[in-house]
Amino acid sequence: MIEKKMKKSNYTDFGYEKMLPEEKRKRVSNLFNSVAGKYDLMNDLMSLGVHRYWKHFTANIAGLREGDSVLDIAGGTGDMARLFAPRVGVSGSVTVCDLSYEMVAAGRSRLLNYGIYKTVRYVQGDAENLPFADNSFDLVSIAFGLRNITDKPKALRSFFSKLKYGSSLYILEFSKVTLPLLRDVYHQYSDNYIPILGKIIAKDEASYRYLVESIRMHPDQESLKFMIEQAGFSRVEYNNLSGGIVAIHKAYKL
C-alpha cells in the first residue's frame, strides 16, 4: 500500500491528466513549439485584448529603474520584455528564458522587428534549473507561465536563488475568479470558446483545451502565496485583476 502511494506521488498534472514529470516537460515544450506561430494572435482573441492591460499594469508597478537587470521567465514572444526594456534603458538588461525553442525564436524575431535588441537576450532554459548565476537579477518575472511548470516549488526556489537580496519577484497568472456571477460566465467562455478558437486559428484544439484545464488546476491566490513563502520569499502579497481572472503576486528576497 505504501509503495502504491509513493508511485502515485511521482505523478504531476498536465491539465486534468496525470503523468510523470519528465513526460509533462516534454509535452509542455512540444505544445508551445506547436502554437508559437499563432501565440500572440490567440492571446488577443482569447482575452479580447485585455491581456495587454494586465501586462502593462504589472510592468508599471514593478518599479524598475535605469540600469536594472531583469529575468523574464517563460517570456515567450517578448510581451513583457518589450515593456521592461525601455524602463531599464541601455545600461540595463532583460533576459528572456523559455523552455520552448520555437517561442524563443519567435520572440527574438518579434523584438528585432520592434528595434529592441541591445538590452534583451534570449536563453532557452528550464525554469526549475535556471542557467544563471545566483544573486544576479534585480527583478524576476513570470507572466502566464507558472501553471505550466512541472515542479512549481522547485521553480520558485530557483527564482529565489537568482534574485539579488532586496529584489522582487512578480508573478502574473490566471487565478480563481472571486465573483460568483463572473465565475460562471468565465468558465462557460473558457470551456467552450477557447478550444474552438484554438481549432480554427491555431489548428490545435487539444493544446488550447489543455491551457484551459491548466488554469483550473493552478493553485488559488492564497495557496500560491503560501508556496511562494515556502520558497523563502518575504512580504508576499497579491492583487486581483478583472475580478480574480488573473492575479499578480509580488514577493521579496530579503
190-219 average pLDDT score:
89
pLDDT at residue 40 greater than cutoff 90? no
- Helix, strand, coil proportions of the chain in percent (round to 5)? 55, 20, 25
If pLDDT is split at 50, 70 and 90, which confidence band does 99 have?
very high
Q: What is the pLDDT of residue 46?
A: 83
- Note whether residue 1 is domain-resident: no
Give the range of the structural domain holding residue 108, as residue numbers without chain letter. Answer: 14-19+28-252
Q: What is the pLDDT of residue 118?
A: 84
Identify the three-state secondary structure at position 78: coil
If pLDDT is split at 50, 70 and 90, which confidence band does 57 have?
very high
In total, how many domains does the chain have?
A: 1
pLDDT at residue 7 greater than cutoff 60? no
Q: What is the pLDDT of residue 9?
A: 59
- Note whether residue 70 is domain-resident: yes
Q: Which residues pair with 239 in a beta bridge?
A: 248
Residues 111-154 pLDDT 10s: 988 888 789 999 999 999 999 999 999 999 999 999 999 999 99
pLDDT at residue 3 greater than cutoff 50? no
- Note whether residue 164 is domain-resident: yes
Q: Which of these ranges, 59-63, 112-116, 171-175, has the smallest mean pLDDT?
A: 112-116
Contact of 251 with 227, CB cutoff 8 Å = no
- Least Cα distance to 163 among 134, 122, 201, 124 occurs for 134
Residue 56's Cα: distance from chain center in Å? 15
If pLDDT is split at 50, 70 and 90, which confidence band does 6 have?
very low
- Note whether residue 176 is domain-resident: yes
- Note whether residue 8 is domain-resident: no
- Note whether residue 198 is domain-resident: yes
C-alpha span between 243 and 162 (Å, rounded): 32
Work out the mean pLDDT of the chain and round it to a whole number.
91
- Note whether residue 6 is domain-resident: no
Sequence-distant (≥ 6) Cβ neighbours of residue 53 within 8 angstroms: none
C-alpha span between 126 and 208 (Å, rounded): 22
Q: What is the pLDDT of residue 35?
A: 85
pLDDT at residue 2 greater than cutoff 50? no
220-229 average pLDDT score:
98
C-alpha span between 88 and 119 (Å, rounded): 8
Residues 21-36 pLDDT 10s: 999 999 999 888 888 8
- Note whether residue 4 is domain-resident: no
CATH number at residue 120: 3.40.50.150
Q: Which residues pair with 19 in a beta bridge?
A: 12
Q: Which residues pair with 179 in a beta bridge?
A: none
